[in-house]
């Protein structure tokens, strides 16, 4: 193995962590401080001390992260990655079950179900247990139902508690789900199959119920290294604790970047690590190589506002020269906010030579970026949405637009097919038959098309499985039609959401509440228009504007993304938009009295910026109905010392 000058390659903080004596080690690696470098050099250092590659277990959250680290280790040491046990929790769990699964009754030839297969098997199980369950459209469909069971397993909480905390739309049936979960588990065992979660639950079961296997893992791996420890869920944390009985464990993470509780990450895992591993030595890596001192001063201000005793103390220190302070930008509404960002981006690209790919617009929720997408499209500024599809291309948005379009023009068969095919067992041909029957019946009886849908003659063309839904489906269309005649587009959208489609949405999507918020934002957008015709025409024009300019994925383009998706990334210039109470932090976090994860999310947003940071918020939120809703600056801004940022006054005569 070639000699490595660890002292020359690392700063003082990194060197102390890399060369620390084996034992329980918690490395608190601040944003932009070289976490991956520290882990990589730790592996290389252990090898330099005579540790065999096979004695090291490296656990990561992505296979890409493990491969990159071990490839870098090979460059440093010449030791090939295949000689290590390194990978995701699930990949190592799979390896463990292949070796020892028979100890818990799992034959070696078990197969793994993919996500679609898992949902199909769960659906078959539920149909066997309760044929009526999926016929109620407000009950979760197989996908959301699987999400509930999966989250409960990963957090090791009861299904009723999981529903109450994360899926409140299903509270009324929270006790009905456990029998389905039990029957699903039995069916998997009977078929000798595992789903993705079984790779972790089975691994932990091995460690808990087979002492000889627990002993094997505890002694097989003399050194356990865990990346992004703050993102571990209860299952993963308990696996680590079981394996690390020898206490030679290094957990690397940042409590200030724990932002994934909605998918099971438990903030308490990193906070209580020293208690579960007595004698833990904490190393802090706080020198930041990414951002200017002014941006880091503001980031430290965010951390200082955390409740005392509920976080590890840390202070990011800059390795770069001084520059401008972050800017706080107050705008009248989301339109002026978007115009400010557009104008500044244009100047950055054309006057200051900043690459579009080094500019990011971050937001808490998708609907906040709707206006931003419209403005960038009209200005022909190329952009990528890295956290999903464009607002008007999202499934539920297109569904509601199709529903309203059909009511406005019942002859539009494409819109009809989109909404009719949401009914159980109604396909494209079935939708065409229903439409033809209604058209014929309406002409024969000189009825309105939507009134004709209510008739028995049309009902005979409806698939048997959809007939229970049919009356509420037709009633909802009639209510939308009546509203369209007497009220504006915003109220029409609201009625469409409140009707049959709202019930469909609740059952179809685990993230129902977030999607409902986006539909309400659509109603707010509709409030700009006096007629439904103008609203629908504008939607088509906007879709044309955005879809006509398909951006090459490899081309330089401004990035639009949620803060969650931006974690781990960095940009020269960052705009955080929608920084108002109720938008960031979100309304539900405020109502629940728990905004700490939202605060950590704000910290993540701030620390993505390298050179310039703009924190923007509107004073008025666009909403359905007369006027708008007054907003106040996010508490995350108002609690920071004003000396840490510069207020930017807009000269509105220029807009």
165 annotated to a ligand binding site: no
427 annotated to a ligand binding site: no
Count of CB atoms situated within 10 Å of the CB of 309: 6
CA atoms within 13 A on the CB side of 64: 0
Residue 219 has pLDDT above 70, yes or no: yes
The predicted structure's pLDDT at residue 603:
97
Beta strands 609-621 and 629-630, pairing class: antiparallel
Q: Quote the percentage of the chain above a pLDDT of 90.
A: 75
36 annotated to a ligand binding site: yes
Secondary structure (3-state) at 26: strand
The predicted structure's pLDDT at residue 654:
42
264 annotated to a ligand binding site: no
The predicted structure's pLDDT at residue 623:
64
Query: Would you list the DSSP string of 323-381?
Result: -PPPEEEEEEEHHHHHHHHHHHHHHHHHTS---GGGEEEEESSGGGGHHHHHHHHHTT-
Maximal CA-CA distance, the chain: 91
Spatial separation of the C-alpha atoms in residues 175 and 168, rounded to whole Å = 13
Spatial separation of the C-alpha atoms in residues 495 and 389, rounded to whole Å = 25
Residue 653 has pLDDT above 60, yes or no: no
Q: Cβ distance 280 to 611 under 8 Å? A: no
pLDDT digit string, tens, across residues 74-114: 998 988 888 989 899 999 999 999 999 999 999 989 999 99
Residue 241 has pLDDT above 80, yes or no: yes
50 annotated to a ligand binding site: no
| Residue linked to tokens 């957990």 | 251
Q: Check: pTM over 0.85? Answer yes or no.
A: yes
33 annotated to a ligand binding site: yes
pLDDT digit string, tens, across residues 338-349: 999 999 999 999
143 annotated to a ligand binding site: no
Residue 655 has pLDDT above 50, yes or no: no
Q: How far is CA 254 from the centre of its chain?
A: 19
Q: Which of 199, 228, 316 is nearest to 39 (CA)?
A: 228
566 annotated to a ligand binding site: no
């Amino acid at each position: 193995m070639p000699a490595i000058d660890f002292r020359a390659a690392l700063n003082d903080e990194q060197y102390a962590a890399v060369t620390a004596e084996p034992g329980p080690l918690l490395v608190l690696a601040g944003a932009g401080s070289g976490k991956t470098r520290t882990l990589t050099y730790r592996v290389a250092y252990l090898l330099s001390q005579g540790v065999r590659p096979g004695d090291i277990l490296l656990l990561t959250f992505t296979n890409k992260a493990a491969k990159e680290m071990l490839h870098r280790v090979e460059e440093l040491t010449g030791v090939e990655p295949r000689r290590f046990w390194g990978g995701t929790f699930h990949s190592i769990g799979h390896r463990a079950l292949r070796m020892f699964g028979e100890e818990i009754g799992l034959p070696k030839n078990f197969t793994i179900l993919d996500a679609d297969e898992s949902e199909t098997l769960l659906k078959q199980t539920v149909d066997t247990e309760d044929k009526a369950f999926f016929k109620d459209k407000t009950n979760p469909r197989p996908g959301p139902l699987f999400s509930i069971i999966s989250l409960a397993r990963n957090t090791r909480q009861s299904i009723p508690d999981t529903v109450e905390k994360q899926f409140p739309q299903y509270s009324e049936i929270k006790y009905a789900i456990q029998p389905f979960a039990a029957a699903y588990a039995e069916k998997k065992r009977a078929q000798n199959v595992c789903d993705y979660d079984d790779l972790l639950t089975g691994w932990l079961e091995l460690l808990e119920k087979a002492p000889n296997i627990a002993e094997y893992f505890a002694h097989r791996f003399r050194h356990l290294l865990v990346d992004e420890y703050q993102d571990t869920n209860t299952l993963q944390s308990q696996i680590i604790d079981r394996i690390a009985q020898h206490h030679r464990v290094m957990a690397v993470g940042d409590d200030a970047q724990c932002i994934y509780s909605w998918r099971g990450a438990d903030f308490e895992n990193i906070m209580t690590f020293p208690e579960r591993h007595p004698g833990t030595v904490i190393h802090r890596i706080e020198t930041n190589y990414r951002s200017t001192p002014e941006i880091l001063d503001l980031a430290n201000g965010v951390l200082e506002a955390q409740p005392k005793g509920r976080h590890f103390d840390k202070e990011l220190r800059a390795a770069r020269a001084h520059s401008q302070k972050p800017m706080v930008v107050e705008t009248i509404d989301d339109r002026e906010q978007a115009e400010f960002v557009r104008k500044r981006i244009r100047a950055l690209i054309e006057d200051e030579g900043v690459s579009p790919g080094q500019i990011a617009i971050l937001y808490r929720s998708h609907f906040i970026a709707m206006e931003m997408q419209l403005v960038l499209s009209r200005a022909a500024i190329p952009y990528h949405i890295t956290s999903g599809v464009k607002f008007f291309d999202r499934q539920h948005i297109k569904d509601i637009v199709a529903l309203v379009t059909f009511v406005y023009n019942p002859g539009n068969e494409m819109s009809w097919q989109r909404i009719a095919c949401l009914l159980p067992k109604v396909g494209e041909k079935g939708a065409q038959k229903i439409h033809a029957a209604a058209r014929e019946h309406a002409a024969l009886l000189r009825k309105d098309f939507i009134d004709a849908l209510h008739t028995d003659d049309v009902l005979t063309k409806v698939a048997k499985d959809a007939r229970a839904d049919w009356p509420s489906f037709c009633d909802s269309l009639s209510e939308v039609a009546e509203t369209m005649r007497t009220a504006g587009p915003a109220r029409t959208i609201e009625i469409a959401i409140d009707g049959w489609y709202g019930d469909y949405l609740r059952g179809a999507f685990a993230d129902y509440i977030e999607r409902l918020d986006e539909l309400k934002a659509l109603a707010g957008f509709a409030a700009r228009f006096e007629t439904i015709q103008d609203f629908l025409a504008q939607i088509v024009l906007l879709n044309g504007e955005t879809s006509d300019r398909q951006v090459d994925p490899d081309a330089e383009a401004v990035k639009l993304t949620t803060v969650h998706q931006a974690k781990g990334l960095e940009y020269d210039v960052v705009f955080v938009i929608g920084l108002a109470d109720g938008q960031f932090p979100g309304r539900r976090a405020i109502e629940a009295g728990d905004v700490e994860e939202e605060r950590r999310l704000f910290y993540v947003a701030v620390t993505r910026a390298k050179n310039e940071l703009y924190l923007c918020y509107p004073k008025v939120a666009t909403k359905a109905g007369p006027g708008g809703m007054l907003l106040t600056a996010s508490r995350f801004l108002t609690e920071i010392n004003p000396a840490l940022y510069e207020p930017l006054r807009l000269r509105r005569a220029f807009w």
